[in-house]
Amino acid sequence: MLPMIRTRGYKPLTLSDFFNEDFFPTMTRNTSSLPSVNIREDEKAFYLELAVPGMDKKDLRIEVKDDVLTISSENKEDKEENLDGYRRREFSYSSFCRSFYLPEDVNSDKIGAAYKDGILNVEIPKLEEEKKKEKIRSISIS
């Protein structure tokens, strides 16, 4: 499973939480500014699709640290116009951050992403069977 990290005191969500009847009533207004995400899995990888329309791919950041995948963006815009003695200044700021715990059976070195038509696609490949076995080691008891 590919669980999500929630900030501000929320419990971490797992993929199975999306299918629980109790999931939707616990949503709050604070989550509405987060981009929607679809998560699917097959035998080879996990796939994330984030809806981030209107973003430029240079404003998107994807990082992996301590088995946590974080997708974030920060966009600042400042406009100033001077017309016929009138001055107009407008500015805006938007940001988001979504984080997901990575399971042990993924290859975080080979995570890939593509952005097209307002959708960010992230592929998180799973480890091959022989590499999964390499992670298991025996511990001697003294």
Domain ranges of the chain: 4-22+33-128
Q: Per-residue pLDDT tens for 29-50?
A: 444 478 899 999 999 999 999 9
Does 4-22+33-128 carry CATH code 3.20.20.70? Answer: no
Q: Per-residue pLDDT tens for 59-87?
A: 899 999 999 999 999 888 888 888 887 88
Question: How far apart, in Å, are the Cα atoms of 47 and each of 12, 42, 67, 73?
Answer: 19, 8, 16, 19
- What band does 134 get if pLDDT is binned at 50, 70 and 90? low
Which tokens hold the place of 132? 């999964």
**Mean pLDDT of all residues in the chain?**
79
The winner for highest mean pLDDT among 12-21, 60-69, 128-137 is: 60-69
- This prediction has a pTM of 0.63
